[in-house]
Structure 1
């Protein structure tokens, strides 16, 4: 699995010393990683861009609290996951769930983006489609483990981001892989449901939106149906399917944004209405104080 290189560590050290060019390069270098973590964890929701920007802002403002530049990658991913959890916490207090269009339309979910931008086909495509059926908490774990399987993160990075031991992380990952395999069976069965009258009747009232209730119903049918069970008999191990898949390309909304190549000043200019330039500068000036006691970001910085 990928380890942070010496050049990357030197770049982090220079950025921590306040080198503007190094900070610019740091944002550009790690934007794809942060986007993939956040995008998959939030399933491509319209708030992904905001969460990505908030993550990078907090990382830049908290560089003084990172004792070991060699731990930057794990520390950054932990901040990203902390921001994802905050976003879900806010969403749960709203009258409408996260996956609705209450906050504005999304540009397609992350599964669709992965299929198109990575050119996924066959069982790799089915894996991407299966992620739509995961519960939100499992999707967050998947967002990290997917990048581990693809060679972008180490198991230590994943454990740090989840705030768990390596052993406990392994248990969580195995659980998610098992759930993902169930979702793959659901996707495979639905793809051939015209051949199974019982499954067709079962899903007659289904509106086509993946969800836990229908996942359980369809999975129960697959377990009891010889025809549908056989349709999923040739599923390959997911680890091998994800190996070397790479990162989903950053969309135009982020890739062409000013902060992608111009560092902290442009981050301020690119801030949303809720995080305008003045607010961004206050965050950058606050340094480590932006991390509340007990958050994953502060815990990771202290551990590093």
Structure 2
């Protein structure tokens, strides 16, 4: 992000923090794609993506007065978003419901990988890499959601480290481990796409239910390493960071942006602007008046539009 662009956005944040509705709307328009891509890729396929995106944006808007440096808004927003993703996983675990169970996965139209492929018109190894992300564990998908945006030029490594609450050195180690899993997942995609499937692999897959998982990634990758026929699939893999460089962000639906604005307006009209004190963490705050937690831990907005699926 250029210095001029940073200054312009800092001025926008300052105006929004002062209560300017137009500036607040502009912030939503400017940063919703970033938040949507982080959450969408981290929670791929979950019906709760829109909810987590909305709550992340609303927490940031409601807590702007807690932000001391307007120029740090982006990193602050990313940290809030990652905390909301962690809260989502914790709620699922607390409810003792498998995160990837069928009832928690949206229809194919809501799958973020499919959205990425269609809207960015990916092909070749870029398409292969996007599809491979389905095979990562939740923790690795969360890290990938940030690293993908770093490669695309939308985040810096410092912002990634801050969002993960890790040192740059530890972040680098985590990224290397995740890239190794992603590379194995790319080989899995190649193995399953082979025009003439390996007969030995067919035997390995006899009990597979057809759904990507870390367990089956390991089994298929292990086969590909030891199989004479499949071992060649590891060759010719271009570095993922080069494939992701400069990629555009997947746009959020207009309906989601409208829902966020509606929920924020409802909260403001209800006198719910309850800024946090200095040093308090907006991601851990109690939802302001005008929004409440339902029995399953989700945050809803009174009078806001119902959650809409991605289009």
Please, what TM-score do these two structures have when normalized by structure 2?
A: 0.84
| Structure 2 CA distance for aligned equivalents of residues 200 and 128 of structure 1 | 24
Alignment map for 1:260-299 (pairs within 5 Å): 263=261, 266-268=262-264, 277=266, 281=270, 284-288=272-276
Question: Contact between 2:56 and 2:84, CA under 8 Å: does it hold in 1?
Answer: yes
Deviations 1:236-257 (A, max 9, x none): 01010000111012135414x2
Structure 1's unaligned 5+ residue stretches are 270-276, 299-304
What is aligned with 1:175?
Answer: 177
List aligned pairs for 1:140-289, cutoff 5 A: 140-192=142-194, 194-255=196-257, 257-259=258-260, 263=261, 266-268=262-264, 277=266, 281=270, 284-288=272-276
Distance 1:108 1:179, change over 3 A: same
**Separation in structure 2 between the aligned mates of residue 224 and residue 280 of structure 1, nearest angstrom:** 64
Please tell me whether the aligned partners of residues 46 and 105 of structure 2 are also in contact (alpha carbons under 8 angstroms): no
Displacement, 1:258? 4.5
Please say if residues 161 and 296 of structure 1, whose CA atoms lie closer than 8 Å, have aligned partners that are also in contact.
Answer: no
Instruction: Name the SS for the 1:194 alignment partner.
Output: coil
Give 1 or 2: higher helix fraction.
1
Question: Using the alignment, how far apart are the partners of 1:78 and 1:177 within structure 2?
Answer: 22
The 1:81–1:290 alpha-carbon spacing in structure 2 relative to 1, beyond 3 Å, is farther
Shifted more, 87-96 versus 154-163: the winner is 87-96
What is the CA–CA distance in structure 2 between the aligned matches of 1:192 and 1:105, rounded to whole Å?
A: 27
**CA shift for structure 1 position 58:** 0.6
Structure 2 distance, partners of 1:189, 1:200, is 10
- State the secondary structure of the residue aligned to 1:288: coil
Aligned to 2:84: 83
Once superposed, what is the RMSD of the aligned Cα atoms?
2.4
In the TM superposition, residue 279 of structure 1 has moved relative to its aligned partner by: 10
SS at match of 1:24: helix
Deviation digits for residues 177-232 of structure 1 (CA, Å, limit 9, x no counterpart) = 11111111111111117331101111122121011221111111011012211023
The 2-side partners of 1:105 and 1:201 are apart by: 30
CA contact (8 A) 1:199 1:221 kept: yes
Compared with structure 1, are the counterparts of its residues 112 and 290 closer, same or farther at alpha carbon in structure 2 (3 Å cutoff)? farther
Cα distance, 1:267 vs. partner? 2.1
CA distance in 2, matches of 1:57, 1:287: 12
1:91 & 1:180 partners in 2: Cα distance? 25
Count of residue pairs the alignment pairs up = 283
Shift of 1:123: 0.5
Instruction: Tell me how far 1:75 sits from its aligned partner.
Output: 0.3
Deviation at 1:104? 7.2
State the structure with bigger RCO (CA 8 A, min sep 6), 1 or 2: 1
TM-score, normalising length: structure 1: 0.86
Query: How far apart, CA to CA, are the structure 1 residues paired with 2:50 and 2:278?
Result: 20
1:66 equivalent in structure 2: 67
Mind listing any 5+ residue stretches in structure 2 that lack a counterpart?
286-311
